[in-house]
């Protein structure tokens, strides 16, 4: 899963990226490539399972954050206003400036709206260009994918009404539109980058419930030792780190859930979309497990914790055999039986 930081210039994307990744600011020449950090998804359940099974290896789910460089804007091409890297992301994290920092009083609502317009405009241009190309090809007698054309028309109408495509689940998730990387179709997490002394979420004038992060403080926190950090966070009234909160919001926006595999070799968390069937979940572990899926033995994390052991879970009748049509829930522990 790849989350891309985006938003207007100087909203604090790079500051947040450094806080998330625990890296130090490297001053100097402008970056040409996106900064990228592969980070473990903090999950207390993994820690508890690891304590119980004492495995050789403990592996958290992972998530990639990218901080693309600001593109050089070409006057004649509005598509260059947004970094090309956003197209390949699974979700967008929009950072809205809500601090002064010598940049002038924050205008969070206006900035948020302006950025939303950029996303819509970028998508409208992409969609119109594709439709024009299809119309030309059709005139030349080349057969077109009319289903794709109809989807693009539907998208165009929404965009012209300034409605982000993510509001239409069928359009947003359609395989025929996937290759375009339409930005307003992607799940969006909004971060308010607040001033150091301000814990209040700004009203952004729409239904986006921003995650409040004070990026500059979070950056300092990331540099502290664990015990110092806990103390400092309590003082500042920060319950969970930026990474924790951002990942939670990202999982919710992308409708992701975690399931686990356990054993003496490894305790591990995996990520799937909500609604995934057992074979699809097995496929995240290995394609052989999906291809040769027979069934999965399923325990629920909460049951395991309450009962204390796998044996006790079985005895309590809480152990399940799940077939190919089993919908995986968050917190399930799977053991996949397969044959290839
Ligand atoms: N006071 C304050 N300044 C910040 C904060 N976050 C970023 N800045 C400053 O705002 C400027 C732009 O930040 P940067 O992370 O480079 O923004 P980007 O263009 O979105 O990557 C820099 O001078 C930062 O030091 C913050 O939370 N508080
Ligand atoms: Mg930056």
Q: Which ligand 1 atom sits nearest the alpha carbon of residue 67? A: 21
Same domain, 315 and 221: no
Over range 5-18, report the average pLDDT.
Answer: 94
**At residue 340, does pLDDT exceed 90?**
no
Q: Which ligand 1 atom sits nearest the alpha carbon of residue 15? A: 15
Q: Kindly state whether residue 235 falls inside one of the protein's structural domains.
A: yes
On whether the CB atoms of residues 72 and 32 are closer than 8 A, the answer is no
The proportion of the chain whose per-residue pLDDT surpasses 90, expressed as a percent, equals 76
Paired with 334 in beta bridges are: 298
Give the count of beta carbons closer than 10 Å to the beta carbon of residue 132: 10
Higher pLDDT, 249 or 72: 249
Q: What is the domain extent for residue 204? A: 1-41+62-256
CATH number at residue 308: 3.10.20.30
Q: In testing the pocket of ligand 1, which one of 101, 199, 202 has its CB within 8 Å of the most ligand atoms?
A: 101
Same domain, 72 and 186: yes
Angle (CA) 57 295 46, round 5°: 25
DSSP code, position 69: P
The proportion of the chain whose per-residue pLDDT surpasses 70, expressed as a percent, equals 97
Same domain, 97 and 128: yes
pLDDT digits 0-9 by tens, 182-231: 999 999 999 999 998 898 999 998 888 899 999 888 888 878 888 888 88
Ligand 2 centroid to residue 109 C-alpha, Å: 20
**At residue 245, does pLDDT exceed 80?**
yes
> Atom 25 of ligand 1 has which residue's CA nearest to it?
15
Distance CA 278, CA 271 (A): 12
pTM of the model: 0.89
Higher pLDDT, 117 or 72: 117
Over range 307-326, report the average pLDDT.
Answer: 95
Same domain, 232 and 301: no
Q: How many domains does the chain have?
A: 2
Q: Which ligand 1 atom sits nearest the alpha carbon of residue 102? A: 1
Same domain, 123 and 8: yes
Q: Output the ligand 1 site: residues, CB below 6 A.
A: 9-15, 99, 101, 193, 214-216
**At residue 26, does pLDDT exceed 60?**
no
What rounded mean pLDDT belongs to the chain?
92
Distance CA 51, CA 338 (A): 28
Angle (CA) 135 139 141, round 5°: 120
**At residue 57, does pLDDT exceed 90?**
yes
**At residue 78, does pLDDT exceed 90?**
no
Tokens of 140: 């030349």
Ligand 1 centroid to residue 80 C-alpha, Å: 22
């Amino acid at each position: 899963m790849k989350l891309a930081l985006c938003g207007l210039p100087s909203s604090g994307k790079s500051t947040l990226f450094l806080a998330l990744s625990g890296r130090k600011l490297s001053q100097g020449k402008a970056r040409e490539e996106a900064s990228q950090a592969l980070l473990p998804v903090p999950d207390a359940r993994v820690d508890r399972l690891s304590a119980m099974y004492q495995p050789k290896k403990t592996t958290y789910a992972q998530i990639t954050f990218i901080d693309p460089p600001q593109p050089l804007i070409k006057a004649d091409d509005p598509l260059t206003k947004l970094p090309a890297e956003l197209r390949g992301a699974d979700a967008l994290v929009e950072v809205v400036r809500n601090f002064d920092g010598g940049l002038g009083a924050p205008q969070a609502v206006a900035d948020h709206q302006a950025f939303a317009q950029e996303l819509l405009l970028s998508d409208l241009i992409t969609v119109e260009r594709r439709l024009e190309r299809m119309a030309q090809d059709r005139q030349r007698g080349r057969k077109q994918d009319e289903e794709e054309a109809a989807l693009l028309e539907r998208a165009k109408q929404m965009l012209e009404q300034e409605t982000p495509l993510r509001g239409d689940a069928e359009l947003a998730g359609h395989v025929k539109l996937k290759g375009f990387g339409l930005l307003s179709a992607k799940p969006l997490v909004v971060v308010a980058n607040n001033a150091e002394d301000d814990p209040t979420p700004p009203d952004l004038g729409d239904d986006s419930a921003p995650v409040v992060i004070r990026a500059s403080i979070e950056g300092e926190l990331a540099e502290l030792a664990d015990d110092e950090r806990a103390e400092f966070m309590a003082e500042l009234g920060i319950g969970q780190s930026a990474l924790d909160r951002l990942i939670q919001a990202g999982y919710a926006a992308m409708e992701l859930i975690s399931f686990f595999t356990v054993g003496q070799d490894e305790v591990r968390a995996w990520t799937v979309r909500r609604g995934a069937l057992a074979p699809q979940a097995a496929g995240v572990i290995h394609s052989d497990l999906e291809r040769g899926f027979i069934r999965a033995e399923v325990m629920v994390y909460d049951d395991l914790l309450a009962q204390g052991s796998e044996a006790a879970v079985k005895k309590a009748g809480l152990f399940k055999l799940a077939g190919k049509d089993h919908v995986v829930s968050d917190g399930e522990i799977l053991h996949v039986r397969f044959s290839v």
